[in-house]
Amino acid sequence: MSGTLVLVRHGQSEWNLKNLFTGWKDPDLTELGIEEAKTGARALKETGLTFDVAFTSVLIRAQHTLDLIMDGTGQTDLPVIRDQALNERDYGDLAGLNKDDARAKWGEEQVHIWRRSYDVPPPGGESLRDTGARVWPYYMTEILPRVLRGETVLVAAHGNSLRSLVMILDRLSREEIVSLNLATGVPMVYRLNADSTVASKEVLGDMSKAH
């Protein structure tokens, strides 16, 4: 019997609030982000899921979200594996810049291409395809085998690292994935078949706040 994979994007970070490109920079959650993570934890607790292991990135906003979920579900002794393979997309020279300032410097069209194209990276950074190139092998070797053994696995990570996973799980095209936004703090529960395809997907919470 195959297991369950739960993906959660971290709650709002301080730099999300300030409209800054974040990437591998390491701001923590805002008060709203903390509440979003707690809301996600409550939704997960209601499902009755008991996790076997959790994965997260090396960035504090994802780790803090995971801690709040573990606490809120009463599973604080959960083994946690942290790896930079699950980090947010690296925005390179854009990291730390206000998005409006970046548009003023490079032009709205160019910044839009960097943000929303599949395979055009910003200067010194990663495209979504580049992000997937490190997320997918990690998923295939470290996460998926556990799910296929019947474990229930929690992954608390970032908008773009999780979009890379959703792309293969939901079998989305390049065009579909670049227009997909994942809500902060909202768990996505995947139950997988033995061949690693998706048997069912449930989103726990209000997707209207996706941005």
The structure's pTM equals 0.94
- The answer on pLDDT for 145 being more than 90 is yes
**pLDDT given at position 1:** 65
pLDDT average, residue stretch 72-82: 97
Query: How much is the average pLDDT of 197-205?
Result: 94
- Cα distance between residue 63 and residue 57, in whole Å: 7
Please give the pLDDT value at position 2: 80
Are the CB atoms for 74 and 45 separated by under 8 Å?
yes
The mean pLDDT of the chain is 94
| Lowest-pLDDT choice from 51-60, 72-81, 130-139, 172-181 | 172-181
- Long-range contacts formed by 196-202: CB under 8 A, 24+ apart: 196/2, 196/144, 196/147, 196/148, 198/169, 198/170, 199/2, 201/169, 201/170
The span from the first CA to the last CA of the chain, in angstroms, equals 35
CATH number of 4-204: 3.40.50.1240
Between 116 and 142, residue with greater pLDDT: 142
Residues designated catalytic:
10, 88
CB-CB contact of 155 with 2 (8 Å):
no
pLDDT at residue number 206: 58
Q: Supply the pLDDT for residue 209.
A: 43
* Interatomic CA distance for residues 23 and 94, integer angstroms: 9
What is the residue extent of each domain of the chain? 4-204
